[in-house]
Amino acid sequence: MNSQIIERIKHECSEVTEKSIQSLSGLKGRHLLITGGTGFIGTWLAELLTFLNDTHKFNIHLTLLSPNALDFSAKAPHLAMRKDITLVAKDVRNILEMPQETSYVIHAAATPDSRQHSSDPLKTMEVISRGTEATLAAASRLSDLKKIVNVSSGLIYGSQPIDLERLPEDFHGGPDCDSITAVYPEAKRYAETICAAYRNQYKLPIVTVRPFAFIGPYQLLDKPWAINNFIRDSILGGPVRILGDERTVRSYMYASDMAFWMLRILVDGKNGLAYNLGSPCGITLRQLAQKITSNFPIPPEIESGAETNDKAKISKFVPDISRAEETLKLCLSVDIDEAIRRTITWHKANVQAGS
């Protein structure tokens, strides 16, 4: 990864914290532990937290726990070599203890990749269920614990009614538990219940975030999500293939916003509450493909799946983020057009750098 790519990410961290740096002052001098710490979420949190150290002297120490921690030097060498980051190669299911100086824990260990959910469903559920219990048990023995953020999923709501514009945190839906696609969201629902039990029995301060869809650097283009595939196909010259109904509606939050929001929820989120994490701005897959291809001098051709008039086949996945907006005064700083432009630029730079 070349210096220009690193500087671009630092600039984005500066941009997202520019007006709200004081809102994160509670993290100064603290020790944070992130499970799943070398994934997309963990890497962006590390970028933002080290930026706070370098630019604003926050003096934060960060422990990134992941079974793939030893591979982090290939993904983000500028982070892996830092003295304020400790990498721990450990399966989240096997956590017995955490550094006693740990004040904040972000539990983000689980893959949202649906291919792994289908190929190894039992491991998927076990990592989430046993991993959450092991994390909370270890955290309960910390002497200076301030807050735990449990990273759940917006998928726990189940199918979004087509006439419901956005999913609020109090929507009482749920996935179809007879389907293999329920493996991940049902495990996340159970993990939230484990958190409720630990809050009640051990008085642990736990806040839940429910992520929707993100885009940005460090998210691989081979992931089974439309926006990643559209960008990959466009970089390769096309065609861009829309699988399924092009009227499907999704929304996308840029990575720097995601990381900043999560840290704000870590500091000031209310114990026992859940916060949706994502963009409230829905966009159809056809519109998304058009926005992506328009970033290329010769826009690649867009190929769509079979036309259908069956509204029952249209899906929607868009969060209501009013709780975070109203109680934590959070807002998006990067819109979908800029998010797409930055992500394409990053991936092109990586290709040119040979990484």
- SS3 sequence, the chain? CCHHHHHHHHHHHHHHHCCCHHHHHHHCCCEEEEECCCCHHHHHHHHHHHHHHHHHCCCCEEEEEECCHHHHHHHCHHHHCCCCEEEEECCHHHCCCCCCCEEEEEECCCCCCHHHHHHCHHHHHHHHHHHHHHHHHHHCCCCCCCEEEEECCHHHHCCCCCCCCCECCCCCCCCCCCCHHHHHHHHHHHHHHHHHHHHHHHCCCEEEEEECCEECCCCCCCCCCHHHHHHHHHHCCCCEEECCCCCCEECCEEHHHHHHHHHHHHHHCCCCCEEEECCCCCEEHHHHHHHHHCCCCCCCCEEECCCCCCHHHCCEECECCHHHHHHHCCCCCCCHHHHHHHHHHHHHHHHHHCC
pLDDT at position 101: 97
Phi-psi region of 244 (alpha: psi -120 to 50; beta: other; left: phi over 0): left
State the Rg of the chain over Cα: 20
How many other C-beta atoms are found inside a 10 Å radius of the C-beta of residue 299? 15
Q: Is the distance from CB of 303 to CB of 183 less than 8 angstroms?
A: no
The residue type found at 166 is R
pLDDT at position 312: 53
* This prediction's pTM: 0.95
Query: How far apart are alpha carbons 44 and 151 in whole angstroms?
Result: 14
Sign of the dihedral through C-alpha 304, 225, 119, 315: negative
The residue type found at 25 is S
Query: How far apart are alpha carbons 62 and 86 in whole angstroms?
Result: 6
pLDDT at position 354: 54
Query: How far apart are alpha carbons 64 and 106 in whole angstroms?
Result: 10
Q: Which two tokens stand for residue 176?
A: 């179809």
Query: How far apart are alpha carbons 276 and 322 in whole angstroms?
Result: 9
Count how many Cα atoms sit within 13 Å of the Cα of residue 78 in the half-sphere of its side chain.
Answer: 16
Segments in the chain below pLDDT 50: 355
Query: How far apart are alpha carbons 49 and 85 in whole angstroms?
Result: 10
The full set of domains in the chain, from first to last, is 3-217+253-279+319-336 (3.40.50.720)
